[in-house]
Amino acid sequence: MNPAAAERFERDLAPLAPPGTRLGLAVSGGPDSLALLLLAADMRPGEIEAVTVDHRLRSGSVLEAQAVAAICAGRGIPHAMLAARWSEPPTTNLQARARIERYELLADWAYTKSLDAVVTAHHADDQAETLLLRLARGSGVAGLGGVRPSRPLCPGVSLIRPLLGWRRAELATIVADAALTPADDPSNRDPRHERARMRAWLADADWADAARLAATAACLRDADDALVWTVGSVAEDRLTRSNDGVALDPAELPRELKRRLLLLAFDALNASPPNGPDLARAMASLEAGRTVTLGHLKLEGGALWRLSPAPKRRA
């Protein structure tokens, strides 16, 4: 292992998981996750376990998981293989459903093993792709911040991503220097998947630098954190809870703060948060002084916006 790369990895990992943290590494066998395995094995020996999820979506996936198991065995790293639990493999929305299943399996495994965190190999190129994909969908500040370095995965277990500042090519070099042959997942190049199309487009767009795009996502995460902090302070004066519901004082507030306060009001009433377009339409009605129903709530406009459970409709 290149000492400079190993030390850089530890600097990135330590704020997310200080030494002594019990870590589970999600290792698919691709170049990114193999580099994660090598780096963690060098800097956190005795503190890591590895796991490979077989999504059962293509031939050869079991052999790839077995190859990871062999690499781990050669380095004395405990390894587990987890298989997707669907009765019938999905045929639509494939990558999204595979991602949901993967994280559920990882959460169950980490909780059972009493691990402190699960580590994934998401990197700067992934972050750039996520930013552009969400930009194309019209995401707000929170979505454009991309994936976060850390988030809760399940009770007592965090999901951490220490490689968000690394490039895909840097990780591939680490694997090549170790004389390992990574698995090749053809779905990463399959144009039926939007991320694969974005990856190909970004590779050909010499003006769009992935590192700068990832830095933009980091700036947007900082902006989102600032908004969350601000909303928490503003809510003390602008949201009032009563037996009938919640009242919101929108006077002279920026639109984004009003939007976030509305979401807090939904949460206070144990109502599911609406999607972005529905919430935007409801806000337009409230600003015009009208009353609308959204989900199971009645929203009334005026000097104060009032949210309360919607009356049941007559049969």
pLDDT digit string (tens) for 129-188? 999 999 998 889 999 999 999 999 999 999 999 999 999 999 999 999 999 999 988 888
Paired tokens of 199: 């990856």
> For residues 196 and 206, what is the distance between their CA atoms, to the nearest angstrom?
17
Which 8-state DSSP code applies to residue 304? Answer: S
User: In this model, does residue 315 exceed pLDDT 70?
Assistant: no
**Average confidence (pLDDT) over 247-274:** 95
CATH of 3-216, one of 3.40.50.10490, 3.40.50.620, 3.40.1410.10, 2.170.150.20: 3.40.50.620
**Average confidence (pLDDT) over 187-215:** 89
> For residues 32 and 174, what is the distance between their CA atoms, to the nearest angstrom?
9
The predicted-structure confidence for 38-65, as pLDDT tens digits, reads as follows: 999 999 999 999 999 998 888 788 999 9
Give the pLDDT of residue 192: 84
CATH code: domain 242-309 is 3.30.465
Query: Quick one: which of 228, 107, 217, 219 has its CA closest to 159?
Result: 107
**Average confidence (pLDDT) over 67-80:** 96
User: In this model, does residue 278 exceed pLDDT 90?
Assistant: yes
Which 8-state DSSP code applies to residue 310? Answer: P
> For residues 54 and 40, what is the distance between their CA atoms, to the nearest angstrom?
22
Give the pLDDT of residue 314: 65
Paired tokens of 258: 């009003």
With tokens 């949201």, the residue in question is 239
What are the domain boundaries of the chain?
3-216, 242-309
The residue type at 65: A
pTM of the predicted protein model: 0.87
Confirm if 85 and 56 have CB atoms less than 8 A apart. no
Burial class (CB in 10 A: 0-12, 13-18, 19+), 191: exposed
